[in-house]
Amino acid sequence: MTTRPGFTVFLTGLSGAGKSTIADILIEQLEAAGRPVSTLDGDIVREMLSSELTFTRADRDLNIRRIGWVAGEITKHGGAVVVAAIAPYDGAREEARALVDRHGAFVLVYVATPLAVTEKRDVKGLYARARSGEITQFTGVSDVYEVPSAPDLVVDGSTGSPAEAAQQILDHLTERRLLPDRS
Amino acid sequence: MTTRPGFTVFLTGLSGAGKSTIADILIEQLEAAGRPVSTLDGDIVREMLSSELTFTRADRDLNIRRIGWVAGEITKHGGAVVVAAIAPYDGAREEARALVDRHGAFVLVYVATPLAVTEKRDVKGLYARARSGEITQFTGVSDVYEVPSAPDLVVDGSTGSPAEAAQQILDHLTERRLLPDRS
C-alpha cells in the first residue's frame, strides 16, 4: 500500500504577523484536496500539550520541542502538519526541524511581518498590554525574536494577502514533490 | 490514494505488569509487517510531553489526556500507535478513548497481572521503595488502580508469555479489520 510523503509546515513570526490566518487558508486548501491535516496552532498546543508552561526561554523551548516531537510522529505516518507558533528562538526551531527531518519533510516558513505593522494592527490588544507592562516577556516588545537563519520560505504578511502567502506555501510543497502537481 | 485505517492500542496495568515487554513485541511484529508505529510509552511520554508533571491525580489525568490527544492526531492520518501507561483511572482512559475515537479505532487492552505477581517480580525495585515510603503515590501500593470497566481485550501478564499476549492483540486487530488478514 502506498503512503503519501509526510510533511510539517512550521510558520514562525511575531504575534499578529498573520500566521494563523495563513495557516487556516493553507489547511482549508489541503483538506479540500483530500489531505487531512493536524493543526498545531499556538493556542491549541498551549491547551493540549503545554498547559503548565510559562513564557520563559526554557519553557518556550520546551513548548517548541514538544511541538517538534509530535509533528515528527505524525509526519512519520505520512501525515500533514501545520504549525503556527511565534517560536522566537532559532535553536528551538532547528531542534524541531531535527525531530521532524528523521521522518519526513520540514518546511520552515518565516512570516516576515515587521513589528511596526503587527503592533499597529494589534488585533488582540496584546501589544498595548505589553507596552504598558501588563504582559511581560512579550516577543518583539520585552522579549527577543530571532529572525530565522535558514527558512525554507519567506512570506510577507504585510504587503501580500494571506491567500497569496498560502498559495506560495502550496507551490513550494508542490515543487518539493510533497503534493501532487495539478498543473 | 488509499489510506490504511488508523488505530491506537492502549495498554494499561500496574507497574511491572508486562506492558512495555508486550508493547515491544507488538511493535516489532507490526513494523515487520511494514506498518510504522508511534510508541507512546510511559517513559518516553514523561520525557517528551509531560516532563514537569507529577503523580497527583490531576497530573496523571493530564498526562493521559495528552497521550490521548497525540494518539488521536496520529490515528487521524492512518497511523498505528501503541501506548503503554499505567493509566490508573477509568475516567482518563475513557477520555483518551474519546480523543482517538473521532479519528479511528481505539483498543483498550487491560494487562491483568495481579499485584501479588508484579510486586514479587519488582524488576525495577520500585515496589520495595514504595513499601518503604521512599516513593509516594505509587499505584497499587499507596495509590489506587481502577480495573478497566470496558476493556476491548484482557491479556494475562502472569500466566501467559508476553509473545502470546502480543499475538492476542494482533488477532484482535485482524478481527476488527484494522490489519489485513494473513490466514
How do residues B72-111 score in pLDDT, each as one tens digit? 999 999 999 999 999 999 999 999 999 999 999 999 999 9
CA distances, A51 to each of A64, A111, B99, B100 (Å): 13, 25, 17, 20
Cell, residue B94? 475513557
DSSP assigned state of A146: P
User: Across the interface, do B73 and A70 touch by the CB < 8 Å criterion?
Assistant: yes
Share of chain A above pLDDT 90, in %: 83
Q: Residue B111's pLDDT is what?
A: 97
User: Across the interface, do A66 and B73 touch by the CB < 8 Å criterion?
Assistant: no
Whether A96 has a pLDDT exceeding 60, the answer reads: yes
Q: Residue B183's pLDDT is what?
A: 58
User: Across the interface, do B2 and A4 touch by the CB < 8 Å criterion?
Assistant: no
E strands in A121-163: 153-155
- Which among B62, B69, B78 has CB closest to A77? B78
The mean per-residue pLDDT over the stretch B108-135 comes to 94
Across the beta sheet with B153-155, the strand order is B37-41, B80-84, B7-12, B105-111, B153-155
Contact of A48 with A150, CB cutoff 8 Å: no
Q: Residue A47's pLDDT is what?
A: 87
Q: Residue B46's pLDDT is what?
A: 86
Record the pTM: 0.91
Test mutation, A73, A75, A82, A179, chain B, max B CBs within 10 A: A73
A129 in B contact zone (CB under 8 Å): no
* Dihedral pair phi/psi, residue B99, rounded to 5°: -70, -25
Whether B155 has a pLDDT exceeding 60, the answer reads: yes
What is this model's ipTM?
Answer: 0.88
The mean per-residue pLDDT over the stretch A76-100 comes to 96
Banded model confidence at residue B160, pLDDT cuts 50, 70, 90: confident
B78 in A contact zone (CB under 8 Å): yes
The mean per-residue pLDDT over the stretch A85-110 comes to 96
Cell, residue A31? 483538506
Banded model confidence at residue A44, pLDDT cuts 50, 70, 90: confident
Interchain CB contacts (distance < 8 Å): A and B: 60
A80 in B contact zone (CB under 8 Å): yes
Paired with B153 in beta bridges are B109
Q: Which of residues 10-69 of B touch A (CB under 8 A)?
A: 36, 38, 48-49, 51-53, 62, 65-66, 69
Q: Which residues in chain A are contacts of B1 at CB distance < 8 A?
A: 2, 4
Banded model confidence at residue B144, pLDDT cuts 50, 70, 90: very high
- Taking the domains of chain B in order of start, what are their residue ranges? 7-175
Banded model confidence at residue A27, pLDDT cuts 50, 70, 90: very high
Q: Residue A3's pLDDT is what?
A: 64
A4 in B contact zone (CB under 8 Å): yes
For A82, the 3-state DSSP assignment is strand
Q: Residue B97's pLDDT is what?
A: 97
Element holding B154 (H helix, E strand) = strand B153-155
Q: Residue B3's pLDDT is what?
A: 64
Whether B2 has a pLDDT exceeding 50, the answer reads: no
pLDDT digits (tens, 9 = 90+) for A45-78: 888 888 888 889 999 999 999 999 999 999 999 9
Taking phi over 0 as left and psi of -120 to 50 as alpha, with beta for the rest, B68 belongs to: alpha
Banded model confidence at residue B156, pLDDT cuts 50, 70, 90: confident
Whether A1 has a pLDDT exceeding 60, the answer reads: no
Test mutation, B41, B60, B77, chain A, max A CBs within 10 A: B77
Test mutation, A65, A66, A77, A82, chain B, max B CBs within 10 A: A77
Q: Which residues in chain A are contacts of B54 at CB distance < 8 A?
A: none
User: Across the interface, do B77 and A73 touch by the CB < 8 Å criterion?
Assistant: no
For A143, the 3-state DSSP assignment is strand
DSSP assigned state of A33: T
B5 in A contact zone (CB under 8 Å): no
**CA-wise closest residue to B77 among B127, B4, B145:** B4
- Kindly report the CATH number that applies to the domain delimited by A7-175: 3.40.50.300
Whether A2 has a pLDDT exceeding 50, the answer reads: no
Q: Which residues in chain B are contacts of A69 at CB distance < 8 A?
A: 48-49
Q: How far apart are CA A40 and CA A10, in angstroms?
A: 9
pLDDT digits (tens, 9 = 90+) for B13-70: 999 999 999 999 999 999 999 999 999 988 888 888 888 888 899 999 999 999 999 9
Q: From the CB of residue A74, how many other CB atoms can be counted at a distance below 10 Å? A: 30
